[in-house]
Structure 1
Amino acid sequence: MKHSVPISRPFSTSRRGALAGGLGLAAVAATGWQAAPSAHADGTTAPAHGRLPAHLIRAQQAYNALQKYFYDPDSHFYLEQYPYTDGNPWSYVWPFGQAMVATQVMSGIPGIGRRYRSDVDDRFRALEAYWNNQTDPPGYDSYLRPPAGQGGDKFYDDNEWLGLGFLLRHNLNGRGDRTALTKAEQIFDLVTYGWDTDASHPCPGGVFWTQASWSHDRNTVSNAPGAEIGLRLYLLTGKRSYLDWSLKMYDWVRSYLLAPNELYWDNVHMDGSIDRTQWSYNQGVMIGAGALLYRATGRRQYLDQARRTAAAALDFYAADEHYFDQPAEFNAIFFANLLQLSTIAPDRLYQKAIRWYADQSYQRYRDPATGLYRFDGDNPVTLLHQSAMVRIEGMLSWSPRDYRKLT
């Protein structure tokens, strides 16, 4: 791959000494300030007032492009990709949920967040078109329910991302949003329902990936995000069952999917074989679960486990720029959990790695004509990719004291 600008290397723990003297980033915008018009949530712009941080400008640009090319104001739904080609007209719930969280991140930016609050409300209203209360327990289908769509199988990880989104809403609303908390509790009930109770299975236990009959995998991302939900609910309510379930999910992943390099594999198949892919979001959710377990129990072992995985992941994905072998949405989840860990165990390399990725993505993959991120060349831009970059740039625009709210 050729680039028109000099490319600096990604950050890793093995380069800690070399980083002491400064960033050396190729993108001046990473730490610089520049005058630019401020963008409103509806896509309009207002005159610049002072000089704005580059990541704030880029977050607004990415969000405006998201709304312009993916959002339909009549239905309040999103396209799955742009340009739309064929298949279902609207996005599945997993991409929609990531756009919803990206909107919430915009609403958490100091100084401008209030502009996005009505957009957040709009996302949560539209999300309910995926809700299926005809099943016991209820949950979100993978696609829009009638009349907007035909519904779809329930995926436990889809529902877990949404549960974390409801908890983020609760956090951003001053911890007083009972409706959001209740929905997170309902989703956690669904997650525990998905626990494999057949002791004869290989690697017994674990939450299944989906209720669909065509898969019986149990994944890192169907367990660790569930643990994160349970731990946040425990910290909010004090109910011991939330902590107990979270420990079961966390311990199951560590028992069967922890690799020798301190990273986590993807899933266990029903024949006992293991998919040894090491996706960045798997590392993120286990880092986040470890950090929350430390907050919930005070046990140092969980914090140490989270820090070891964070250090191993920074080295692993920095080597040969493996960050760009990962989908942007996976990296966004990884980075959110790194920032959450940083509130307990500060490490300047966490944010530096995120800035490096944001800067390089902006230089290499952003189409300046549209503001869309084209990670897949001339193929359609996905809602997942664009939402991820809104989320990443938006998080970099947050005050570090608020990172604990991230999910």
Structure 2
Amino acid sequence: MKNILLVLTLIFLYSCNDDNDIPKIADRYIPEEVVKDEINPVINLSAQFINVNNDALVTWLNPEDKHLSKIEISYRLKDAPESSNTSIQIDALPSVVCRDTIKIPAGDDYIVSLVAINEIGARSEARITDIGAFYDPKDIPLFLNMADTLMTSVIKLYFGGKYDAWNSSYPNVNGPYWDGIAAVWGQGSAFSGYTNIREASLNSAIEQKYTNYDDRFLYSINKFRNKKGGRAEAYGTYIGDNDERFYDDNVWIGIDMVNLYEQTGKKEYLDNAEMVWRFLLQGTDNIMGGGIYWKEDSQSKHTCSTAPAAVMAARLYLQTNDESYLKSAKELYSWCKTVLQDPSDYLYWDNARLNDPNDPNSGLQVETSKYSYNSGQPMQAAALLYKITKDPQYLTDAQNIAEASYNRFFKDYYSAALGQNFKIVESSHVWFNAILFRGFVELYKIDNNNKYVTSYAKTMQHVWKTSRNTNTNLLNEDYCDGNGQSSWDILQQGAFVEILSVLGQLERQGLL
């Protein structure tokens, strides 16, 4: 009706106007939007058999197209022609993470393909994936099974939503100015959990379950990238063009990108790691003799930014043979040891700053708090530098830090659940302890001293038996005193996944 009235109006104007200005009037008419005859495909497609009855769970993210109408889900035997597809269509909304369970006739090798369809029937390019095999948890080694059980729950309870990212806590809490997604520190912890369980599951029955998340989790974490103030690109605290960027938040993600590059050989992971490295170089100067600031425009240089940067540089050297990375690893480690290690016990202080920020030659103020992760990264850096250079001083450094950390951050404990006395990792901060564990594992692979990793293994067995919520499989952080818990932070759950996954790797390698 509106179109008919518009046409009549234009005819009337044309008949009553002698100045031939009809084109000007017609130009003001904006026609209704035309639906295009093309549409983008779905992304982040994965499929996994979830039971012995051949039910397969399919997950994906719909394209951002307001004219999206339906999603066509098809499946067929892997080697069969496309004409053999069995297909269903479901209603769809744009930019929504979707899950659907389909029944497959038999447990043979099947593939699933998804096609997005818009309001006029235009079809997208098909996205195709294999259906991951169902596995019996009894066939998975102990610690990998624990990691898989926890990570499955963590993905279910925390991941998704508007941004297809990790929520900060479970149950999810939000408010009028916050949508509940975790800051990038928490996002990075979950990403580390995924990175490590992905590695632990390689060549196992659950490998595809986690490799299917590769594109989705990379796409998710990269939403946090920005170029604030025209500076080097990096991961911001939250999603946004002007969110502040911390050097330590970024280096944890950068280390995971190197790990994923080592696992896959995919250049996109190396590109992300190199992006982080360029940002870290922006955070170092000659003030105080070196080191890396905590965040942009900060006046303090921290162990938690400098030591993991040394680790990252060493690992980049191992992957690229670029001598500049080895030079940086040595320099960063040396600065951290000289300025922030307590010579009385080999543990590391938190940070240092100038007495007078306007005088680069003034003395240093050192913040002397000692956290487990701040000793874990120098330990790992020293072990890696020994692996590369065979300089025995690095090995001595790593072993000194390991024993000092064991004396400081572990305590004698009797576990009634295990019926054993052992040194338990104190339950002060799980994420800190996960980073400490990285140092112990790097050293163990060199000197074969299993004392420290054995304590972690017994700690996690105790946690699993005494501090797992049986409704959610989430793990309580206060596992020594056994206090109850009603909210679980993604930062700590991601750390639990990492520890269990690394134990799973050691177990599969015959090192436990």
Q: Specify the TM-score bucket, using the shorter chain as the normaliser.
A: 0.7 to 0.9
Aligned mate of 1:158, from 242, 249, 262: 249
Q: Distance in 2 between matches of 1:57 and 1:262?
A: 36
Cα distance change on mapping 1:60 and 1:331 into 2, 3 Å: same
Amino acid at match of 1:342: Y
For 1:144, give the aligned amino acid: I
Identity of matched residues, %? 26
Residue 304 in 1 paired to residue 396 in 2? yes
Q: Paired residue for 2:216? A: 122
1:100 aligns with 191
Is 2:148 aligned against 1:63? no
User: Does 2:468 match 1:366?
Assistant: yes
Structure-2 residue corresponding to 1:16: none
Which stretch has the larger CA shift, 234-243 or 215-224?
Answer: 234-243
Residue 226 of structure 1, aligned match among 271, 294, 309: 309
Deviation of the 1:251 alpha carbon: 0.8
Structure 2 residue 229 is the aligned partner of structure 1 residue 145: no
Q: 2 CA distance for matches of 1:315 and 1:240?
A: 36
- Residue 13 of structure 1 corresponds to none
Q: CA deviation at 1:162?
A: 0.8
Q: Which residue does the alignment assign to 1:268?
A: 352
Compared CA separation, residues 227 and 344, structure 1 to 2 (3 A): same
Structure 1 Cα separation of the partners of residues 184 and 210 of structure 2: 21
Which runs of structure 2 are paired with 1:13-92 in the superposition (5 Å)? 46=134, 48=136, 50-72=138-160, 75-86=163-174, 88-89=178-179, 90-92=181-183
User: Aligned pair 1:194/2:287, yes or no?
Assistant: no
Cα distance 1:55–1:332, how it changes in 2: closer, same or farther (>3 A)?
A: same
* Superposed CA RMSD: 2.8
1:394 alignment counterpart: 501
Counting matched residue pairs gives 356
Higher percent of residues as strand = 2
In the alignment, structure 2 segments of 5+ residues that lack a partner are 1-50, 60-98, 102-132, 356-363, 414-423, 479-483
Q: Given the superposition, is the C-alpha separation of residues 344 and 196 from structure 1 closer, same or farther in structure 2, using an over 3 Å criterion?
A: same
- One of 225, 230, 249 as aligned partner of 1:131: 225
> Quick one: structure 1 residues 70 and 258, their matched pair in 2 at CA, closer, same or farther if it must change by over 3 Å?
same
Tell me by how many angstroms 1:297 deviates.
1.6
Distance 1:310 1:403, change over 3 A: farther
User: 1:25 matched to which residue of 2?
Assistant: none
What is the aligned partner in structure 2 of residue 341 from structure 1? 443
> Which whole-Å CA distance do the structure 1 matches of 2:439 and 2:270 have between them?
20
357-366 vs 281-290, greater mean Cα deviation: 357-366
The structure-2 alpha-carbon separation of the partners of 1:183 and 1:346, relative to structure 1 and needing over 3 Å to count, comes to same
C-alpha distance in structure 1 between counterparts of 2:190 and 2:216, whole Å: 12
Find the counterpart in structure 1 of residue 273 from structure 2: 184
In structure 1, how many angstroms separate the alpha carbons of the residues matched to 2:346 and 2:214?
Answer: 37
Contact 1:142 1:154 in 2 (8 A): yes
Report the Cα distance in structure 1 between the residues aligned to 2:412 and 2:340, rounded to whole angstroms: 24
> Structure 1 stretch 226-235 or stretch 81-90: which is displaced more?
81-90
Q: Using the TM superposition, give the Cα deviation of residue 61 of structure 1 relative to its aligned residue in structure 2, in angstroms.
A: 1.6
Q: 1:41 to 1:400 in 2, by over 3 A?
A: farther
Given that 2:141 and 2:508 are in contact with CA atoms closer than 8 Å, whether structure 1 keeps it comes out as no
2-side partners of 1:217 and 1:403: how far apart? 43
Q: CA deviation at 1:374?
A: 2.7
Unpaired segments ≥5 residues, structure 1: 1-36
Aligned equivalent of 1:350, options 443, 447, 452: 452
1:293 maps to 385
Higher RCO, Cα 8 Å, sep 6+: 1
1:10-50 deviation line (CA, Å, top 9, x unaligned): xxxxxxxxxxxxxxxxxxxxxxxxxxx99999899956375
CA contact (8 A) 2:382 2:395 kept: yes
Matching residue of 1:245:
328
**Separation in structure 1 between the aligned mates of residue 396 and residue 58 of structure 2, nearest angstrom:** 40
| Alignment check: 8 A CA contact 1:332 1:391 kept | yes
From 352, 364, 371, give the equivalent of 1:279. Answer: 371
String of CA shifts for 1:92-116, please: whole Å, max 9, x gaps.
1111111112112221224122210
- Residues 41 and 64, structure 1, Cα contact 8 Å, conserved in 2: no
Distance 1:40 1:93 in 2: 28
Q: Distance in 2 between matches of 1:264 and 1:63?
A: 32
Q: Is the 8 A contact 1:343 1:403 kept in 2?
A: no
Q: Is the 8 A contact 1:279 1:326 kept in 2?
A: no
Note closer, same or farther for the CA distance 1:291–1:140 as it changes in structure 2 (3 Å cut): same
Q: CA deviation at 1:56?
A: 2.3
Q: Give the distance between the partners of 2:277 and 2:507, measured in 1 at CA.
A: 28
Distance of aligned partners of 1:76 and 1:86 in 2 relative to their CA distance in 1, 3 Å threshold: closer
How far residue 186 of structure 1 moved from its aligned partner, in angstroms, is 2.0
Q: How far is 1:378 from its partner?
A: 3.3
Q: CA deviation at 1:346?
A: 1.0
Matched residue of 2:286: which SS? coil
Alignment of 1:375-394 (within 5 A): 375=477, 377-394=484-501
Matching residue's letter, 2:489? T
Larger radius of gyration: 2
Residues 339 and 403, structure 1, Cα contact 8 Å, conserved in 2: no
Q: Could you tell me how far apart the structure 1 residues matched to 2:510 and 2:337 are?
A: 25
